[in-house]
Amino acid sequence: MKHISSRDNPFYKRLHRLIDGKRAGEAVLEGVHLCQEWLRHKGLPQAALFDSSKLASGGELAELARALPESSCISCEPALVRGLSQVGHGQGVYFLVGVPELSPPARIAENCLWLDRVQDPGNLGTLLRTAAAAGIAHAYLSTGCASAWAPKVLRSAQGAHFAMAVYEHLDLAQLRQRLDVPLLATALQGGEPLYDAVLPQRCAWLIGNEGQGVEPSLLDLADMRVFIPQEQGVESLNAAVAAAICLFEQRRRCI
């Protein structure tokens, strides 16, 4: 197995750049669970990098390595691997994977998630994870959302990306024309209480920016606005939590 012992190694530098910034077409997955999920849903990675010391001690890392062609596996000095980690105690495994840039379909007729400028990576990942658990397989992200394949988003989403089609950098107002199901927005004002609303079996759930909600001109394009009745005098729900309550209320009624 090829071994990396210098931080000047071109492959190591490439992983570093992918983790720090954004680059279309490729992503780095960190940790056993995400890598296992990739194998299960998507097949082989372009390459896999292992902490040489952790790999030598067997366990889950050795098992992952056995599932890959040896030519795609690279071992790496532990000190360098620590420089890649996004978490306190990384598990010592990274997959480099190709990420298809998807174009939205000509007509959108499934239950789906529309995200308008959701900026917090943790929120974005949680929204995708929740949508996947609710059986939603398509997410449409506006320009101004966090980058869907950034490490923090991947970590919060726990593999939801691999079970969904995630479309990015969209003009949602334009995309509205392709929508064959109602557009439902969560809003704090001017909406129907969620539990009184007649929810369609399939719709596009429109969730807005954490602080500002859905952009007003986009909100005007919604067919229905709903709000979640809550205790007075306290802060409203976090965007991902509000979305979860809506998606699972729809699922409760429709399944």
The residue (of 164 and 203) whose beta carbon lies closer to a copy of itself is: 164
Residue 111 Cβ vs a copy of itself, minimum distance, rounded to whole Å: 11
The residue (of 15 and 150) whose beta carbon lies closer to a copy of itself is: 150
The residue (of 14 and 251) whose beta carbon lies closer to a copy of itself is: 251
Residue 160 Cβ vs a copy of itself, minimum distance, rounded to whole Å: 7
Q: Where are the beta strands (DSSP E) in 78-211?
A: 93-98, 112-115, 138-142, 165-170, 183-186, 192-193, 204-207
Handedness of CA 152, 154, 158, 161 (dihedral sign): positive
The residue (of 65 and 244) whose beta carbon lies closer to a copy of itself is: 244
The residue (of 37 and 116) whose beta carbon lies closer to a copy of itself is: 37
Residue 217 Cβ vs a copy of itself, minimum distance, rounded to whole Å: 26
Based on DSSP, count helices (H) and strands (E) in the chain, helices before strands. Answer: 11, 12
Determine if residue 196 is left, alpha or beta; phi over 0 gives left, psi from -120 to 50 gives alpha, anything else beta: alpha
The residue (of 39 and 221) whose beta carbon lies closer to a copy of itself is: 39
Residue 86 Cβ vs a copy of itself, minimum distance, rounded to whole Å: 14
C-beta separation of 125 from 159 below 8 A: no
Residue at 65: amino acid letter: A
DSSP structure class, residue 3: E
DSSP 108-120: B-S-EEEESS---
Residue numbers of the site for a copy of itself (CB under 8 A)? 37, 122, 126, 129-130, 132-135, 156, 158-160, 163, 195, 228-231, 233-238, 240-241, 244-245, 248-249, 251-252, 255
Residue 34 Cβ vs a copy of itself, minimum distance, rounded to whole Å: 10
Residue 239 Cβ vs a copy of itself, minimum distance, rounded to whole Å: 11
